[in-house]
Amino acid sequence: MRRMQREKQTRNMAGSLIDIRIDDDRWNRLLQVEALIRDVLKMAQDEAKAPANFELSIVLTSDAAMQKLNREFRGRDSPTNVLSFPGYDGAPLLPGQPAHLGDIVLAFETLVREAGAQGKSPEQHLAHLLIHGFLHLLGYTHANDSDARRMEAAERKIMHGAGFPDPYMQEHE
Judged against a pLDDT cut of 90, whether residue 51 lies above it is answered with no
**101 falls in which pLDDT band (50, 70, 90)?**
very high
Strands 82-86 and 99-107: antiparallel
**66 falls in which pLDDT band (50, 70, 90)?**
very high
Cβ count near 108 (within 10 Å): 25
- The percent of residues above 90 in pLDDT, for the chain, comes to 68
**173 falls in which pLDDT band (50, 70, 90)?**
very low
Judged against a pLDDT cut of 90, whether residue 131 lies above it is answered with yes
Beta sheet of 6-13, edge-to-edge order: 6-13, 16-22, 54-61, 99-107, 82-86
- Do 147 and 140 contact (CB within 8 A), yes or no? yes
**4 falls in which pLDDT band (50, 70, 90)?**
very low
| Residue 23 DSSP class | S
Strand locations in the chain (E): 6-13, 16-22, 54-61, 82-86, 99-107
Judged against a pLDDT cut of 60, whether residue 171 lies above it is answered with no
Architecture in CATH for domain 6-165: 3-Layer(aba) Sandwich (3.40)
Give per-residue pLDDT as tens, 5-27.
Answer: 445 554 444 568 899 999 999 99
User: What pLDDT does 143 receive?
Assistant: 92
